[in-house]
Amino acid sequence: MRLLKFLTLIIFSTQFIMSAQEVVAYWGASPYGYYVKNIEAAGSAKKITVLNYAFAVPGPDSAGNIVATFRNPYPVYVQPYTADMSIDGTADDSAQQLRGQFNQLKKLKAMNPNLKILLSIGGWGGCTYFSDAALTEKSRETFVDDCINKFILGNLPVIDSAGGMGAAAGIFDGFDIDWEFPVSGGPEGMHYNPEDKENYTKLIKQFRKKLDAIRPGLLLTAAVPADKPNINNFDIAGVQNYLNWFNLMTYDFHGIWDSVTGHHTNLLSSPNDTAESGGKLSFDKSVKYFLDTLRVKNYKIVPGTAFYGKAWGNVNSTNEGLYQVGKDSGRVLKPGMGNYSSIPRMLSDGFNYYWDTLAMAPFLYNKGEKIFFTFDDAKSISLKRHYVDAYKLRGIMCWEISGDDSLGTLINTMYTGRMPEAEAGKIQLGKSTPIISITYPRNKKKVAAGTNLIINTYGEDKNNQIIKVEFYGDGLSLGYCTKAPFDWAWFNMPVGEHTLKAIATDSYGNKGVSQTVKFVAVKSDIEN
């Protein structure tokens, strides 16, 4: 009977289905090196629900009106793609109306009918004229009408015989507005004023009205900051009724502006975070601010993951470089490094992998080069996906997809919530089973309900290494970890008595079961 219960538990865990509705990926649309065909080849197109093409930017036309423009329209829809660049191996005809990236998006959509594609407008460095576009009723209407004319109706300006009436029709299913940032501004030269907060809401409202008039069901989303000072320059509560959801930029918590290293996309806030600009920011802290303070509905929140990292140089080895003084952020890595796809190269080039259990975030440190590197990986993204489901959020997003590896590992983790598994060998009789024990929480402990409970384990294996630890709360799978240290989290802890168990698998396929920990979650401010 015990064996039957054990097997039932294992079968249930393999059938565990995640519930997030949206898997949103931004594509930075660089004209070099990464093409739409890479999205399809990695198997990612069938796992993404929404692809945000980034970016169009507000800019003046010949009459001074603010309209939607491209910094360089050539790769967008003018450039004839060769067969090698194309998703289906068919080259563009230099005389056809639609070429380049837009033609590839059209083909991608034909191959993946359930995929939605949005045109993202703005981005860091691309918002110089957003304040002008939103300034008056007339400027708002002019800008929104132009966006709809070009990208929903598809009437692109004619350049070198590309474009024209209906050229891009059917590609885009709406817009993502990425104004960085109203009121406070952004890079040097960006226009901004105190009325931006109110005008932003009016602009979003105008987009919603015009899109609904064209076709109900067209999407409107917004990329918004995750730090409180910038968030408060948006009327989040007022604008949410016009948006399908917010894409929370829960990354860039630390970076070049800090003289102290820190995580840039950590899941939880660490009490050890000493970097001066972060305010102990985290994925969790930002989501909670939207839920609890701004009163945003959970189904309108899509927090983000980062497919890129940030680096500091001249960092001493104390604490493996974490929360230490450093400099030259972002300028110390070798060419081609910095995205998730470059992690294997970095690990073979002197970097070591570390995991911060308090922040639930990975980092690398190169002792010889004195370089600290912060990033997201499959473990941290798997945890974030479980968090999204525990709080019943709308989904999860990434900036940006070209940072993934050729297998689409991170997109797959966003989609399934699961880390890649190491293949276990055939079970060998006579071999001892791995030993796994839960070291936290302790038996009979009281914890605060509604919080995120970090689970710590200790494992031993005389045969070979442990390759997987799966966690069970009240008999149901909480997910599994395939990368040491084998810690995990139980998110949004429900009130009541609970049981916790871990099952370890080693490289021979042998399994070891931990003790059962019993504890109670109560409505209070008890610390975890």
Mark whether 6 and 127 lie in a shared domain: no
The dihedral through the CA atoms of 59, 64, 67, 68 has a sign that is: negative
pLDDT one digit per residue (tens) for the chain, 528 residues: 333 333 333 333 333 344 458 999 999 998 788 999 999 999 999 999 999 999 999 999 999 999 999 999 999 999 999 999 999 999 999 999 999 999 999 999 999 999 999 999 999 999 999 999 999 999 999 999 999 999 999 999 999 999 999 999 999 999 999 999 999 999 999 999 999 999 999 999 999 999 999 999 999 999 999 988 899 999 999 999 999 999 999 999 998 888 999 999 999 999 999 766 657 899 999 999 999 999 999 999 999 999 999 999 999 999 999 999 998 766 799 888 899 999 999 999 999 999 999 999 999 999 999 999 999 999 999 999 999 999 999 999 999 999 999 999 999 999 999 999 876 666 665 577 899 999 999 998 899 999 999 999 999 877 668 999 999 999 999 999 999 999 999 999 999 999 999 999 998 888 999 999 999 999 875 544
Mark whether 213 and 295 lie in a shared domain: yes
Mark whether 406 and 500 lie in a shared domain: no
* Contact status, residue 435 vs residue 406, Cβ threshold 8 Å: no
Domain presence at residue 40: yes
Mark whether 397 and 518 lie in a shared domain: no
Check which CATH number belongs to the domain holding 512 and give it: 2.60.40.10
Q: Nearest-CA neighbor of 414 among 404, 429, 427, 426?
A: 404
Domain limit, last residue, from 416, 448, 481: 416
Domain presence at residue 312: no
Domain presence at residue 386: yes
The per-residue pLDDT for 427 is 62
Mark whether 282 and 403 lie in a shared domain: yes
Mark whether 162 and 193 lie in a shared domain: yes
For residues 264 and 440, what is the distance between their CA atoms, to the nearest angstrom? 26
| Per-residue buried b or exposed e for 334-359, using 16+ beta carbons within 10 Å of the residue's own CB | eeebbbbbbbeebeeeebebbbbbeb
Mark whether 488 and 412 lie in a shared domain: no
Domain presence at residue 338: no
The per-residue pLDDT for 13 is 35
Mark whether 58 and 10 lie in a shared domain: no
Mark whether 35 and 133 lie in a shared domain: yes
What is residue 386's DSSP assignment?
A: H
The per-residue pLDDT for 335 is 87
Domain limit, last residue, from 400, 416, 432: 416
Domain presence at residue 360: no
The per-residue pLDDT for 330 is 67
Domain limit, last residue, from 362, 390, 416: 416
Mark whether 123 and 229 lie in a shared domain: yes
- Which residue segment(s) compose the domain that 486 sits in? 2-15+423-522
The per-residue pLDDT for 263 is 96
Mark whether 517 and 388 lie in a shared domain: no
What is residue 100's DSSP assignment?
A: H
- Widest pairwise Cα distance in the chain: 82
Domain presence at residue 486: yes
Please give the helix or strand (H or E) that residue 499 lies within, else none: strand 496-506
Domain presence at residue 528: no
Mark whether 288 and 401 lie in a shared domain: yes
Check which CATH number belongs to the domain holding 43 and give it: 3.20.20.80
Per the structure, how many domains does the chain have? 2
Domain presence at residue 329: no
The per-residue pLDDT for 256 is 83
